[in-house]
């Protein structure tokens, strides 16, 4: 996967926007961050649960890692080039769902027949 693909997926969700913060691209909904990507597009961090984070790192430590600062909150780091596009799409969808308003998630689900 390329950094531009990550960006395109992150911005595909209702209300999603990109804003540079701390020298990185941050992807937000409701002014709350659900994903971040380094300036060079090589590494990213995605909001996740601690359980999901642990499972991803255990299953593929060459792709997933414990990111600085936000890793303690369950976020998972991603080596973008090594990542599977569909898996990242699913992770970004869940990160957006955890951050968006419930009514936005409900509308999204209705428009996608409940598929994430």
Q: What is the pLDDT of residues 53-98, one digit of tens each?
A: 999 999 999 999 999 989 999 999 999 999 999 999 999 999 999 9
Give pTM, 2 decimals. 0.92
Domains and CATH numbers, the chain: 3-104 (3.90.1150.30)
What pLDDT does residue 116 have? 46
Say how far apart CA 5 and CA 18 lie, in whole Å.
14
Distance CA 93, CA 86 (A): 10
Higher-scoring residue by pLDDT: 113, 61: 61
Long-range CB pairs of 80-86 (<8 Å, 24+ gap) are 80/1, 80/2, 80/3, 80/6, 80/37, 80/41, 80/42, 80/43, 80/44, 81/1, 81/2, 81/42, 83/1, 83/6, 84/1, 85/1, 85/5, 85/9
Chain segment 3-31, per-residue pLDDT in tens: 999 999 999 999 999 999 988 999 999 99
């Amino acid at each position: 996967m390329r950094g531009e693909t990550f960006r395109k997926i992150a911005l595909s969700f209702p209300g999603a926007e990109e804003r540079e913060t701390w020298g990185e691209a941050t992807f937000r909904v409701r002014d709350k961050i659900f994903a971040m990507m380094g300036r060079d597009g090589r590494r990213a961090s995605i909001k996740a649960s601690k359980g999901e984070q642990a499972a991803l790192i255990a299953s593929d430590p060459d792709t997933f890692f414990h990111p600085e600062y936000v890793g303690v909150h369950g976020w998972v780091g991603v080596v973008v080039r090594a990542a599977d596009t569909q898996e990242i799409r699913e992770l970004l969808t869940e990160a957006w769902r955890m951050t968006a308003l419930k009514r936005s998630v409900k509308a999204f689900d209705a428009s996608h027949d409940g598929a994430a």
